[in-house]
Amino acid sequence: MKKSIKLGLVGYGTVGQGVAKILRKNKSYIEHKIGASVEIAGVCDLRKPRLDSGYCCADYKQLIADPEIDIIVELIGGYEPARSLILEALNAGKNVITANKAVLAKYWDEIFKTASKNQRLVYFEASVGGGIPVVQALNEGLAANQIQKISGILNGTTNYILTEMTKQKIDFKSALAKAQKAGFAEANPTFDIEGIDTAHKLAILCSLAWSRWVKLDDISISGISKVTAEDINFAKDEFGYVMKLLGSAKLSKQGLEVSVEPCLISGSHPFANVEQEYNAVLIRGDAVGDVMFYGKGAGQLPAASAVVSDIIDLAKQVAVDTAGKLPYVKYGFSKRIKIVPQEQSYGCFYLRFSAIDKPGVLSTVSGILSRCGVSIASVYQKEPLSGSRRGASIVMLTHRIKYGGLLRALRQIDALPVIKSKTVKFRIKD
Amino acid sequence: MKKSIKLGLVGYGTVGQGVAKILRKNKSYIEHKIGASVEIAGVCDLRKPRLDSGYCCADYKQLIADPEIDIIVELIGGYEPARSLILEALNAGKNVITANKAVLAKYWDEIFKTASKNQRLVYFEASVGGGIPVVQALNEGLAANQIQKISGILNGTTNYILTEMTKQKIDFKSALAKAQKAGFAEANPTFDIEGIDTAHKLAILCSLAWSRWVKLDDISISGISKVTAEDINFAKDEFGYVMKLLGSAKLSKQGLEVSVEPCLISGSHPFANVEQEYNAVLIRGDAVGDVMFYGKGAGQLPAASAVVSDIIDLAKQVAVDTAGKLPYVKYGFSKRIKIVPQEQSYGCFYLRFSAIDKPGVLSTVSGILSRCGVSIASVYQKEPLSGSRRGASIVMLTHRIKYGGLLRALRQIDALPVIKSKTVKFRIKD
Q: Closest Cα of chain A to B96: distance in Å?
A: 17
Biggest CA pair distance of chain B:
84
Indicate if A106 belongs to the active site. Answer: no
Size of interface A-B (CB pairs under 8 A): 206
Report CB contact under 8 Å: A326, B312.
Answer: no
Give the chain A residue whose CA is nearest to the CA of B18: A287
Amino acid at B254: Q
3-state SS string for chain B: CCCEEEEEEECCCHHHHHHHHHHHHCHHHHHHHHCCEEEEEEEECCCCCCCCCCEEECCHHHHHHCCCCCEEEECCCCCCCHHHHHHHHHHCCCEEEECCHHHHHHHHHHHHHHHHHCCCCEECHHHCCCCCCHHHHHHHHCCCCCEEEEEEECCHHHHHHHHHHHHCCCCHHHHHHHHHHCCCCCCCCHHHHCCHHHHHHHHHHHHHHCCCCCCHHHCEECCCCCCCHHHHHHHHHHHCEEEEEEEEEEEECCEEEEEEEEEEEECCCCCCCCCCCEEEEEEEECCCEEEEEEEECCCHHHHHHHHHHHHHHHHHHHHCCCCCCCCCCCCCCCCCCCECCHHHCEEEEEEEEEECCCCCHHHHHHHHHHHCCCCEEEEEECCCCCCCCCCEEEEEEECCEEHHHHHHHHHHHHCCCCEEEEEEEEEEEC
Phi, psi angles (nearest 5°) of residue B343: -60, -30
Q: State the CB neighbour count (10 A cutoff) for residue A362.
A: 17
Q: What is residue A266's DSSP assignment?
A: E
Give chain A's radius of gyration (CA, Å).
Answer: 24
A358: left (phi over 0), alpha (psi -120 to 50) or beta: beta
- Residues on chain A touching B330 (C-beta within 8 angstroms): 32-33, 35
pLDDT tens over chain A, length 430 residues: 889 999 999 999 999 999 999 999 999 989 999 999 999 999 999 998 888 889 999 999 999 999 999 999 999 999 999 999 999 999 999 999 999 999 999 999 999 999 999 999 999 999 999 999 999 999 999 999 999 999 999 999 999 999 999 999 999 999 999 999 988 888 899 999 999 999 999 999 999 999 999 999 999 999 999 999 999 999 999 999 999 999 999 999 999 999 999 999 998 898 998 999 999 999 999 999 999 999 998 889 999 999 999 999 999 999 999 888 888 887 666 678 899 999 999 999 999 999 987 778 899 999 999 999 999 999 998 765 454 456 678 999 999 999 999 999 999 999 999 999 999 999 999 8
Question: Within the 250-279 window of chain A, which residues sit less than 8 Å (CB to CB) from chain B?
Answer: 268, 270, 273
In A168-292, which ranges are continuous DSSP H helix?
Answer: 172-181, 190-193, 196-209, 229-239
Q: State the CB neighbour count (10 A cutoff) for residue A266.
A: 14
Q: Which domains does chain A have, with CATH numbers?
A: 4-130+300-319 (3.40.50.720), 134-296 (3.30.360.10), 342-429 (3.30.70.260)
Q: Closest Cα of chain A to B90: distance in Å?
A: 21
Q: Smallest Cβ distance to A304: which of B268, B287, B293? A: B287
| Catalytic pick among A6, A94, A106, A201 | A201
Report CB contact under 8 Å: A289, B301.
Answer: yes
Report CB contact under 8 Å: A33, B330.
Answer: yes
Bridge-based pairing of strands A220-221 and A255-266 is parallel
What's the confidence (pLDDT) of residue B221? 97
Using a CB–CB cutoff of 8 Å, tell me whether B201 touches chain A. no
Using a CB–CB cutoff of 8 Å, tell me whether B286 touches chain A. yes
Phi, psi angles (nearest 5°) of residue A91: -65, -25
Using a CB–CB cutoff of 8 Å, tell me whether B133 touches chain A. yes
Question: Within the 300-339 window of chain B, which residues sit less than 8 Å (CB to CB) from chain A?
Answer: 301-302, 304-309, 311-313, 316-317, 319-320, 322, 325-326, 330, 332
Using a CB–CB cutoff of 8 Å, tell me whether B24 touches chain A. no
For the cut 60, the answer to whether the pLDDT of residue B387 exceeds it is no
Using a CB–CB cutoff of 8 Å, tell me whether A290 touches chain B. yes
Give the chain A residue whose CA is nearest to the CA of B125: A141
CB B292 within 8 A of CB B120: no
- Residues on chain B touching A133 (C-beta within 8 angstroms): 136-137, 140-142, 291
Could you please report the per-residue DSSP string of A313-358? HHHHHHHTT-TTSS-SS---TT--PPBPPGGG-EEEEEEEEEE-S-
Rounded to an integer, what distance in angstroms lies between the CA atom of residue A261 and that of residue A248? Answer: 8
Q: Closest Cα of chain A to B289: distance in Å?
A: 7
Tens of pLDDT, residue by residue over B206-216, are 999 999 999 99
Note the ipTM here.
Answer: 0.93
CB B271 within 8 A of CB B244: yes
Report CB contact under 8 Å: B131, A311.
Answer: no
Chosen from B134, B142, B148 to mutate, greatest number of chain A CBs within 10 A:
B142
Q: Smallest Cβ distance to B295: which of A292, A305, A320? A: A292
- Residues on chain A touching B33 (C-beta within 8 angstroms): 143, 211, 330
In A92-217, which ranges are continuous DSSP H helix?
Answer: 101-118, 134-136, 156-167, 172-181, 190-193, 196-209
Phi, psi angles (nearest 5°) of residue B260: -125, 120
Label residue B125 exposed, middle or buried (CB < 10 Å: 0-12, 13-18, 19+). buried
B276: left (phi over 0), alpha (psi -120 to 50) or beta: left
Q: Closest Cα of chain A to B365: distance in Å?
A: 40
Report CB contact under 8 Å: A287, B307.
Answer: no
Rounded to an integer, what distance in angstroms lies between the CA atom of residue A313 and that of residue A330? Answer: 17
Among B29, B20, B34, smallest CA distance to B318 is for B34
